[in-house]
Amino acid sequence: MKNKKNLKGFTLVELIVVMAVFGIIMAGALQFLNPVSKMMKGSSLQESNSATVDNIKRYLEGTLRYASSVYVHNGDLKKYDGGNPVILGGTEENKQLEAVKNFVDDYFKDKADSNNDPIKGEVHLMKIDNDNGGRITESLFNFEAGYTYYDWNGVDAWDSPSTGVSASVSMTSFDKPVINDVYFKDYSIFTTLGYNTVNPVHAGDISALPARVRDDQYFGRINPVLIDDGSGNMVPYTFSENMFSFSFVTYRNDKDGAGNSLYHHIIDDEHVFGSPYASSNATLALVNIKSGFCDGYNTSLNNRPIRRNGNGKTPTDMVDDFTGGTPPAYVPDGKWDYEPLPTPPKSFTTYDPGNLAGGNNIYIIYTLPD
């Protein structure tokens, strides 16, 4: 008689061991499924600064590099009232709408497309929200530019150009996050315009330092980098389309029981950062600002089609009253007549570059070529 072989299964211990091994493998796999979280978790301050700033820099450069016009509001959205910068009021949506409308009126008013119709397009608004840990968001707007025209006085002459038609602007998206929020989980980023450094100072050298942080020995204070202006004078590095630079300070998110930051303080209108902190800089290239899209490089942008209203004409009719000959006479040539814009538009503008009106955030309003 043949002996039957004994069939054996897994013991309970063996099953537990196998399950434990699979658990370890799955835990490791989950870490690889979210590489950003793995990279940021437990990282040092300098590593976090490098990773976050690298992502911000790549986004800024990829987004703004080919912009055809850029307006930067330093320290919140602002307008000029009698030459003095004033922070816009109202809700965030209304402030953005007003700022974009001002931008369109400033840059696109009286410009025309190939058919001499008012220009239509999109405007982007980027917000660097220092009040919210340095997060970056984008809003998008559709617009139709305004235009001016001459009114007929009803008798025998054309008046000076009237106010005309203002731009129309509508918001299609609002404050959409563009940088992964995981980068701001443990640390915040404070962004400033220009090329700046963070110089260490002792607590005793800072007036009105909050009592809750006096046990920290050293702090950092933002200072502009000085460069030679070509005449031997050392002046602050100027933020412009040629030196489109940003400085970043990374600091811990820790707060006290009242919700006040333990590592970021505003003292005597200066931003001071408690140790540990890390700083870095980024300079971007704007390739389209000095191109055929901007004033001074395309003279057609410095002229507007002449529009008239009254005496049988409307602003949408072609004005073809070219004056020529001797003595001057109206010689229609089948084309729109043009005149120089009173103030040629600028493709790059910084509102309140010295941040005289205050505020912590930075807004960048820009357009991209078609």
pLDDT the model gives residue 42: 43
Q: Which segment of 6-10, 281-285, 291-295 scores lowest on mean pLDDT?
A: 291-295
pLDDT the model gives residue 43: 52
CA dist 24 and 27 (Å) reads 5
Handedness of CA 60, 107, 360, 271 (dihedral sign): positive
Residue 312 CB contacts under 8 Å (≥ 6 apart), including other chains: none
Assess contact for 144 and 113: CB atoms under 8 A. Answer: no
pLDDT the model gives residue 21: 72
Bridge-based pairing of strands 78-81 and 84-87 is antiparallel
Q: Which segment of 171-185, 196-210, 238-252, 295-309 scores lowest on mean pLDDT?
A: 295-309
- In terms of pTM, does the model score above 0.85? no
DSSP 335: S
Cα separation values, 111 from 72, 267, 301, 339, Å? 21, 45, 7, 11
> Per-residue pLDDT tens for 219-269?
888 887 777 767 777 677 778 888 899 999 999 888 888 888 888 888 777
> Per-residue pLDDT tens for 159-190?
888 778 999 999 999 999 999 998 888 899 99
What is the CB-side half-sphere exposure of residue 12 using CA atoms within 13 A? 0
Q: List residues bridging with 188 in a β-sheet.
A: 251
pLDDT higher at 16 or 116: 116
CA dist 187 and 30 (Å) reads 23
pLDDT grade, residue 27 (50/70/90)? low
pLDDT the model gives residue 257: 82
pLDDT higher at 277 or 362: 362
Handedness of CA 33, 37, 39, 41 (dihedral sign): negative
Q: Cis link prior to 85 (omega < 30° from 0)? A: no
Q: Which segment of 69-73, 234-238, 270-274 scores lowest on mean pLDDT?
A: 234-238
Report, as an integer, the average pLDDT of 337-346: 81
